[in-house]
Every structure is written in C-alpha cells, then in structure tokens.
Structure 1
Amino acid sequence: MNLRHLKYFVATAETGQVSRAATVLSISQSSVTGAIRDLEAELGAELFQRSAHGMEMTEAGREFLGSAREILQKLEEATKLTRQHSAVTGVISLAATYTVIGYFLPYHLDRLANLYPGLEIRLSELNRESIEEGLLSNRFEIAVVLTSNITNPELESETLLRSTRRLWVPNNHPFQRRGKASFEDIAEEDYIMLTVDEAAHTTMKYWSMTSLQPRVRLRTSSVEAVRSMVANGQGVTMLSDMVYRPWSLEGKRIGTVTTDREIPSMDVGLAWRRGAEFSRPVSALLDYFRQCYALPQTPFSLGRG
C-alpha cells in the first residue's frame, strides 16, 4: 500500500465514478482502476460495488475511507509544517471570476497562507472582461480564471485543470437508467440555463454545432438554483464536474449522464499580461500552482469547496 493507492481511492469515493476521479486527478481511468484493484487485494476486502451508475462503497469501503482521509490529512499538515517559515513576503494583486472563487480557490488560499505567512493576497472578484482590462492596465498582476474563455492575444494563460462537462438529471431519470443521452433527447426536456461566467454563451456554442436548441425554462446566475431545479425534476442542465454536487440544498439526489456528442471541458488556470515580469511573490504563487498540478493530486489539494 502506498499514498498513490490512498489518493486514488479517496478520489473515487468522493466523486462516485472512476471516470470523474481520473479527471480530478488528471490521470487515466486505468490507473485509478488498477490502484483500487491492488488496494482491494492487499486489504482482502471489496471496497466498491460497481454499477451502471458509478462506484458505490461497501461497508468495508466506508470504514476504510475515514482512515485514508486521516492519513492524507496528516501528510498535508506535516508538509505545511515543514514549509511554514518560507521567506517569501510581499503583496499580490489577484483577480478571479465567480466560479473560480466559489469552487476552486478557497482551499488554495488557505494553503498558500500556511506555506507563505508573509505573503498577502489581495483578491478581487470580477467578470472576465474586467479582469482582462485589469491585467492589461497592471491593476492586477495575475488572475485565476476559466482559461477556456480567454481569447485576448495580449494575455498569456496556463491551464491547470480541465473539468469535464456532463448532463445533470434528477435521480432515477430515464437518461440515468439508460446511462447516456443524445442531444435530440435533451432537446425534448426543459433546460435550466446557468448564465454566470459566460456559461450560457458556452452552452450555446456547443449546441450550435447541432441543428437543435435547448428548451430553456429558466436562466439564472445561481448554481444552487440550477441544482435545486434539476433535483426537483424541473429540468436538466449541462455543467462541469467542478461545480457538481450529488445533492441539492433540499437533500434531493442529482445524477450525471454522458452525452452522445463530446462537450468541451471547463478549463481553470492562470492568466497574465503577455511579457509581464513577475515579482518574487507572483513567482512563488506560479510555482505553487504548477507544483500542485504537475503530479496527480489528492482531492484535498484540488479545492473541493
């Protein structure tokens, strides 16, 4: 048994699917499957029940999950202790969009505060257009954004994480039982359209590759409203794994389904003015993110927020 086994096991337990765990970890599905198989052989117990809807933990799996999390958390704490006296000091003016602040950055901000206690990050939440303007005018040194939306040639970007988009459906929806849905089928359903961070524009871009249109019942900037509407059977939607949670605020289950057409991923990463010279604090932040995503990471390091 090694840390890789534990990381892959926890990722699969928390996402409920090998494919989603592989996406979070940025590795192949076969690597996740092989690690779980090795772990089960070493423990002499089945940790998951495989089904058409994903990976359901057995009683042994649920018991082992607590221990695996504790080991990984202790390792993370030990790592922080060895680095907490970093000599990097200074201020970073950092901009981020709504989705990034809500679902990606919180964990990393906490970790950076522990690793670099002398580093002050001044964070601003803005839309993409305002962030681009701020980077070009030197109001911000760097930004964490949806790099899949960045097109300005005066900016450079570096993608850290690619989050797969899937169809969200209420629990036990016919699409879920079938395991896949065609765009033709989805067009017959009421559709809940998220508008924040250009989500509606992105959605219509991949719908435009078909001769179909979604039957939009509601447009909203609230992810929680989308989650509740879907969970309560008021429609379906297509959003990324990064913002997916299996339960609505009312405690109702939400399922995910693959589609017959490939949907572009939602990419998260860094952006800065082309040709910019980085200060030592900004270089430290860049190095931190590059180290986080250069190797497979446990979900504890991926901002589960």
Structure 2
Amino acid sequence: MELRLLVTFEKVATVLSFTRAAAELAYAQSSVTSQIRALESSLGTELFDRLGGHIRLTEAGERLLPYARQLIELAEEARAAVTGAEEPTGSLVVGTMESLTSYRLPPLLELFHHRYPKVRLALRTTIGDETRQALRQGTYDLGFLMEEETAHPGLESEVLAVEPLALVAGREMDVSSTADLLRHPLLATEPGCAYRDLFERELKSVSSSVEFMEFGTIEATKRAAAAGLGIALLPEVTVAAELAEGSLVRLDWEPPFTLRTQLAWRSGKRLPAHARLFVEQARKLIAEQG
C-alpha cells in the first residue's frame, strides 16, 4: 500500500466527502477518486459505500482506518527524525463541543496556528457518546469530554479542570431548592449534553414530569434566558460575560453534581509527538484559565 493512497483514504474517511477531501488535500476530485479506486484494487475490497450523493465506510474501511492513521503518524515521525526537524508536524482530528470551542479553546487554537503551523488541526463538534465512540474507532485522535465520570471503557483520559456550572435567568428568582426550579420554565440545550442530562436527572428526583424548552446552541439558550423566557443551567465560562454585564443573573442554587473537563484518547494508542504537545498545551491553558 502506498502511503499517499493511505493519506487520501484517511482524509476521505474523516470528512466523508470526496469533494471536501480534494479541497483539503489540494487535489482535483478526479485524483482523489482514482487514488481511492487504486487502493481498493490493491486490497481487493471496497472501502466506501456510495449512496447517491453520500458515502460511508464499509466494514473493511472501518478496519483499515486506524491502521492507516498509525502508518501516517509513523511516517511523519520517521521523516522528522531523519531530517532532524525540530518543528512539530502532523495532523490531529479533535472532538470537541460548543462550550469549549467557543469559550476555552480559542487561545489554544491561536497558539498552534502561530507557533506550530505545521500541526494541522481539524475540530469535530460532537458530544458525549459520539465523541467516545469516535475515539474508540480511531476516527478522532483526541477528544474533549465534559462529564461527571472520569473512567471511560476503551479510553484513557486526563482531567483538565472541574467545570463550574451556573443556574442563570434574566432576573432574580427565589430558587433555593430543586423543587423551586420546577415552578419556572426550564431552558436547555439538546439532550446528550452532560450538564443538561444531569440537570434533568436531578429534577426528576423531585418530579417525574419535567419539560424543557430546547434550543440548539448555548448562545440561543443564553438569549432566551436573558429575555425572561426561563432559567438555564450552563457552564459558568459560557455565561461569564453576561453575568459581568448584568444581562443574566446567577441564581442561588448549586447543582449536586460535578462536571470535569477531560481530554481523552483510545486506550493503547501511541500518541505521536504533536499529539502529546497538544495535550500538554491544553493542560497548561485550561489550568491558567482557572
């Protein structure tokens, strides 16, 4: 198997689009298609199912993907070792979530963009189970998690910080107990988000009937709360600016659970140098943010 074919296969498998892969690799789309066909011919099996305008990995493609990534990583390390290159290089596919991408990670992304330009970062926004599954399958190299639990089967993880949560609304309300919360409209992001699911679990310990007005993003949830539509539980870092300016107020209720921001990778995975650098810098940055 030629390394260039594996590089093309890995990119197509990651973005699940021949067109997008061609753009990111600076190839003509016909070149990407011919390289995938050449790889399939050499292996004697199809790696992608073509479903109209969409593609997905076949079972053989799923099995090949983690090996392709390992070979690409080893080739990049070997090249750096032979040439004596000191500058980190390589690609990283990182699973993350809105609350981290928008509010914690910009300084880290800026650092890598300016100081380590040969490290190619690709962020994929998923949450919870989707991120863990992508890490186990090798689709992601690293993944940020914001969870109560710190042990995840098939994964190694490092806790970067305890993530404070804040119950917020557009005005002061008397909500000193969990039961008090049920007297007000409840706002939330989509199910599957750890703090929303834990919040719902806590509310259901008081009442079996719990309903949320759901919003697709944290920004939309914040705006709804500021407009007086109800109360919302969100990571403190996402509402810090609104609390400071007074468009949101923090209510006197503390959640009886703790979330921890973590960085995870597949158990047994040999992290290449540029991935270890990312972990190190993420650890340092989030520690400095407090």
- What TM-score do the two structures reach when normalised by structure 2? 0.61
Q: CA deviation at 1:118?
A: 2.3
- Given that residues 187 and 212 in structure 2 are in contact (C-alpha distance below 8 angstroms), is that contact kept between their aligned partners in structure 1? yes
Amino acid in the other structure paired with 2:178: F
Q: How does 1:1-305 map to 2 (within 5 A)?
A: 87-148=87-148, 152-171=152-171, 173-175=172-174, 181-195=176-190, 197-198=192-193, 199-208=195-204, 210-212=205-207, 216=211, 218-247=213-242, 253-259=247-253, 262-293=255-286, 297=288, 299=289
- Given that residues 147 and 271 in structure 1 are in contact (C-alpha distance below 8 angstroms), is that contact kept between their aligned partners in structure 2? no
Amino acid in the other structure paired with 2:98: Y
SS at match of 1:244: helix
SS at match of 1:101: helix
SS at match of 2:139: coil
- Given that residues 92 and 120 in structure 1 are in contact (C-alpha distance below 8 angstroms), is that contact kept between their aligned partners in structure 2? yes
Cα offsets for 1:200-237 (capped at 9, x unmatched): 322212224x3236753512222222212221222112
Question: Structure 1 residues 242 and 265 mapped into 2: Cα distance closer, same or farther (>3 Å)?
Answer: farther
Amino acid in the other structure paired with 1:292: L
Aligned equivalents of 2:264, 2:93: Cα separation in 1:
13
- Given that residues 143 and 264 in structure 2 are in contact (C-alpha distance below 8 angstroms), is that contact kept between their aligned partners in structure 1? yes
Question: Structure 1 residues 143 and 88 mapped into 2: Cα distance closer, same or farther (>3 Å)?
Answer: same
Q: CA deviation at 1:166?
A: 2.3
Amino acid in the other structure paired with 1:204: E
- Given that residues 145 and 268 in structure 1 are in contact (C-alpha distance below 8 angstroms), is that contact kept between their aligned partners in structure 2? yes
SS at match of 1:216: coil
Aligned equivalents of 1:219, 1:232: Cα separation in 2:
15
Rg larger for: 2
Q: Which has the higher contact order (CA 8 A, sep 6+)?
A: 1
Amino acid in the other structure paired with 1:115: R
- Given that residues 186 and 214 in structure 1 are in contact (C-alpha distance below 8 angstroms), is that contact kept between their aligned partners in structure 2? no
Q: CA deviation at 1:154?
A: 0.7
Amino acid in the other structure paired with 2:213: L
Shift >4 Å, 4+ stretches: none
Q: CA deviation at 1:288?
A: 1.5
Q: CA deviation at 1:197?
A: 4.7
Aligned equivalents of 1:220, 1:269: Cα separation in 2:
25
Aligned equivalents of 2:176, 2:209: Cα separation in 1:
14
Q: CA deviation at 1:190?
A: 1.5
SS at match of 2:238: coil
SS at match of 1:117: coil
Question: Structure 1 residues 215 and 228 mapped into 2: Cα distance closer, same or farther (>3 Å)?
Answer: farther
Identity of aligned residues (%): 16
- Given that residues 104 and 286 in structure 2 are in contact (C-alpha distance below 8 angstroms), is that contact kept between their aligned partners in structure 1? no
Aligned equivalents of 1:291, 1:200: Cα separation in 2:
27
- Given that residues 166 and 250 in structure 2 are in contact (C-alpha distance below 8 angstroms), is that contact kept between their aligned partners in structure 1? yes
Aligned to 1:60: none
Question: Structure 1 residues 219 and 112 mapped into 2: Cα distance closer, same or farther (>3 Å)?
Answer: same
Aligned equivalents of 1:158, 1:235: Cα separation in 2:
35
Cα offsets for 1:152-179 (capped at 9, x unmatched): 31112112122222221223x243xxxx
SS at match of 1:243: helix
- Given that residues 189 and 215 in structure 2 are in contact (C-alpha distance below 8 angstroms), is that contact kept between their aligned partners in structure 1? yes
Question: Structure 1 residues 213 and 238 mapped into 2: Cα distance closer, same or farther (>3 Å)?
Answer: farther
Aligned equivalents of 1:214, 1:244: Cα separation in 2:
28
Aligned to 2:34: none
Amino acid in the other structure paired with 2:170: P
Question: Structure 1 residues 157 and 87 mapped into 2: Cα distance closer, same or farther (>3 Å)?
Answer: same
SS at match of 2:229: coil
Query: Which shifted more, 114-123 or 146-155?
Result: 146-155
